[in-house]
A and B are shown apart, each in its own frame.
Chain A
Amino acid sequence: MFASKRLGKIQKSLPPGIDLVSAPDFKEWQMDIRVLDSNPLYLNQTYRLRFRFSNNYPIEAPEVTFTTLTTPPRPIPIHPHVYSNGIICLDLLGTQGWSPVQNVESVCMSIQSMLTGNTKNERPPGNEEFVARNTQRPRDIRFVYEDSSV
């Protein structure tokens, strides 16, 4: 019901660097994002975000991860809050930080600005172990948001 209205809203006006790739239903959407300035870490790259919505969306946060693709090339951006399996550690995607007023567009913008502001060419500490071990859904993971500056 309301998701269709939201979809209509999003197609009308998307900010630069954010594109809707596919929204076949209200379960899973694909978005492409680009960093607009000349940050060398992300220059000329486009990244694919996958949104998964529960029946409770937007009361409940969506599950948002980066996914890889070979054609067109869509890697996982390097960032101290992005694990190499695409899981993003961002407080607004957790139960504590999520607000139902957020939407796909605002989440994309937050992630976009998270990348833009980053200068560290590194993965989160403990990335290998996390990627090897984690079997939880992203929203159930208890991240510690220790550093809000990056």
Chain B
Amino acid sequence: MDSDDEFMSGLSDDGFEQAHDSDDGSMADDEEFDEDAGFSQDKDLKPGKKAYEVDFKVFSPKDIQSHQDKQIDEVSAILGQPSEATAILLRHLRWNKERLIETYMERPESVLETAGLGPESVQTPTTKVIKGFTCEICCEDTPGLETYALKCGHRYCVDCYRQYLAQKIKDEGEAARIQCPTSGCNRIVDSKSLDMLVAAELKSRYQVLLTRTYVDDKDNLKWCPAPNCEYAIECGVKKRELNRIVPTVACACEHRFCFGCTLHDHQPAPCSLVKQWLKKCEDDSETANWISANTKECPKCSSTIEKNGGCNHMTCRKCKHEFCWMCMGLWSEHGTSWYNCNRFEERSGLDGRDAQAKSRQSLERYLHYYNRYANHEQSAKLDKDLASKTNVKMKSLASTSGMSWIEVEFLKTASQTLQTCRQTLKWTYAFAYYLQRNNLTEIFEDNQKDFEMAVESLSEMFEKPTQELAALKVDMMDKTSYCNKRRVILLDDTAQNLKTGEWKFNVDITMGP
């Protein structure tokens, strides 16, 4: 799903149409559609879909526009309504075509009324000069004043109308639901009227806003969250499926993100774990680190104590337990050796340290996973810096070794692979933190270990000075493909078990409403 071919096929008009028709279909339906839509030639070449892959399509703003138009035309033909009215109706019902047709067939008047279309009359909008007219907005009553009214008949001078629409579009960013200026009148300004009234530069803004509402309204469409990216992604994964699948999608701009929560790709961890993990890290990490480094717990009541000076004779403020800070044993057994503790082997000290160790365990466990998570995050950042230097490296390698640009492409591939793999590795640690220990966890950790070793060795190779890289080319290409392989194995295994509900987590992973 990372290949360019996937994007290209996704952009075909044909695919677009079909995909929307299977709106309510499950993932399996989508797969069927792939075959129906004539991708059989691809199918033979493409290896089977992995458990962690989801079907998705990338749409450019133009695709989105043309698809809107297509749907409007189609529904317009069924309802026998002009396309402007149909567009309003569709937006009113958040692009739920089936529901619109159904309710319209049952009671057309009420549907039209609630969508702000009122009693129907088909005519092209024109401005009129009305004798003895006073505009209620500006109180202007000059003879010959151009006026306009929507079908509701609320008439205002064209100047006021223009200003009103400009205000709505420009300042308030409204498009699909601009109403008649009359207070309480919910007649919606249709695009034909708008076209006639407003200036050209506002029209394009209006179209942009309309397109935006289209994507916002549809559950199976989302904007790519990358800065300045104009593409939208279509994916059939529903919110309720998010505890069974991690729908990572890749935009045409190369940004990889989760369709469920629009955060950066976080496979293999499901959205709800990611949310809990990020919250925990935000709340706990620094605190936990500090507590771990600077405090001990009272051996009796486990209150956390910071020793900020003084002797080793501790009296817990809470339970009044007296103990030695050094050996954690009873103070009463210390006799008179006030400032030195040499009682490490004594029974009470051992017990004290045991209790200490136990209560520290959960903290240490969290830190274990957190540190590895944070380390990969940091490494990914460093690798990214490295990637920006990759280009320089490629150029210098091409010139020093006499290799062609295509021959040094392996460096770019390696750098991209490192990025993706680090991202995955990072989330394996958050995932593992929430896992209960069982056989599956062992397999998971083995996979994780293999994967991590592969990534680290590629990373190390990548940092070698440029002059050594030419000799390492074959080795590096092997390592790159090995990393990818390990990643696929790990993701496939986790995704499969997630789908079948095999993982046992120590928290609830069902998403809230």
Contacts and interface: CB of A to CB of B under 8 A. Distances in A.
A101 B139 contact: no
29 contacts: A1-B138, A2-B137, A2-B138, A2-B139, A2-B140, A5-B138, A5-B140, A6-B139, A9-B139, A58-B137, A58-B138, A59-B137, A59-B164, A59-B167, A60-B171, A92-B183, A95-B172, A99-B183, A99-B184, A100-B137, A100-B156, A100-B160, A100-B181, A101-B136, A101-B137, A101-B181, A101-B182, A101-B183, A102-B183
B163 interface: yes
Contacts of B136: 101
A52 to B, nearest CB: 17
A99 B139 contact: no
Given A99-B181, A99-B183, A101-B181, A56 B163 contact: yes
A100 B139 CA distance: 11
Nearest to B166: A59
Interface in A73-127: 92, 95, 98-102
B176 to A, nearest CB: 14
Interface in B155-191: 156, 160, 163-164, 167, 171-172, 181-184
Contacts of B183: 92, 98-99, 101-102
A87 B203 CA distance: 36
Contacts of A102: 183
Q: How large is the interface on A (under 10, 10 to 19, 20 to 34, 35 or more residues)?
A: 10 to 19
| SS class, residues of chain B in contact with chain A | loop
Interface in B134-160: 136-140, 156, 160
Contacts of B182: 99, 101
CB-based closest 4 A-B pairs: A99-B183, A2-B138, A5-B139, A100-B137
A59 B137 CA distance: 8
Nearest to A8: B139
Given A2-B137, A2-B139, 10 more contacts: A9-B139, A58-B137, A59-B160, A59-B164, A60-B167, A95-B172, A98-B183, A99-B183, A100-B137, A101-B136
Contacts of A100: 137, 156, 160, 164, 181
A124 B307 CA distance: 48
Interface string B120-146: 000000000000000011111000000
A95 B137 CA distance: 16
A143 B97 CA distance: 33
Contacts of B160: 59, 100
| SS class, residues of chain A in contact with chain B | loop
Interface of A: 1-2, 5-6, 9, 56, 58-60, 92, 95, 98-102
Contacts of A6: 139
Nearest to B139: A5
B474 to A, nearest CB: 61
A53 to B, nearest CB: 13
Contacts of B167: 56, 59-60
A99 B183 CA distance: 5
Nearest to A4: B139
Contacts of B137: 2, 58-59, 100-101
A15 to B, nearest CB: 17
B421 to A, nearest CB: 43
Contacts of A9: 139
Contacts of A56: 163, 167
A55 B156 CA distance: 19
Contacts of A95: 172
B202 to A, nearest CB: 14
Contacts of A59: 137, 160, 163-164, 167
A16 B219 CA distance: 53
A20 B164 CA distance: 27
Nearest to B184: A99
A100 B154 CA distance: 12
A99 B138 CA distance: 12
A99 B154 CA distance: 12
Contacts of B163: 56, 59
A108 B67 CA distance: 48
Which of A6, A60, A99 lies at the interface centre, i.e. has the most chain B CB atoms within 10 A of its CB? A99
A2 B136 CA distance: 11
B184 to A, nearest CB: 8
A100 B167 CA distance: 11
Contacts of A99: 181-184
Nearest to B140: A2
Which of B137, B140, B156 lies at the interface centre, i.e. has the most chain A CB atoms within 10 A of its CB? B137
B53 to A, nearest CB: 41
A1 B138 CA distance: 9
A59 B167 CA distance: 7
Interface string B494-506: 0000000000000
A64 to B, nearest CB: 15
Contacts of A1: 138
Nearest to A9: B139
Nearest to B180: A99
Contacts of B140: 2, 5
A10 to B, nearest CB: 10
A9 B164 CA distance: 22
Contacts of A92: 183
A140 B140 CA distance: 29
Contacts of B171: 60
B134 to A, nearest CB: 9
Contacts of B181: 99-101
A25 B390 CA distance: 65
